[in-house]
């Protein structure tokens, strides 16, 4: 049997799938809350949710993402994921 690990915890395949599903649902819920709170696009909500998980997150960066989205010049999700923003 192959061992699987999630966040350093050994688990079965079924438990891994369940943990991954919960993790994905957490991010989807966070993105939905961000969209409702700020009125931003899906990509900007994803960027904010992702950035909140990084040590480089700041309130100023989050505000810039929101502002740029609202004026029609959003910072790309790719730029946030790559660390260029």
What would the pLDDT profile of 4-14 be if each residue is shown by its tens digit? 998 888 999 99
- Determine what percent of the chain falls in helix, strand and coil, rounding each to the nearest 5: 65, 5, 30
CA pseudo-torsion sign 72, 81, 50, 21: positive
Q: What is the pLDDT of residues 24-61, one digit of tens each?
A: 999 999 999 999 999 999 999 999 999 999 999 999 99
Distance CA 56, CA 44 (A): 16
- The mean predicted confidence, pLDDT, of the chain is 94
- Beta-carbon count within 10 A of 17 CB: 13
């Amino acid at each position: 049997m192959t061992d699987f690990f999630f966040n350093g915890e050994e688990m079965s395949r079924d438990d891994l799938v369940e943990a991954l599903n919960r993790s994905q649902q957490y991010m989807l819920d966070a993105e939905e809350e961000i969209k409702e709170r700020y009125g931003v696009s899906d990509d900007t909500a994803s960027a904010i949710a992702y950035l909140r998980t990084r040590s480089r997150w700041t309130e100023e960066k989050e505000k810039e993402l929101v502002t740029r989205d609202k004026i029609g010049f959003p910072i790309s999700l790719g730029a946030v994921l790559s660390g260029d923003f």
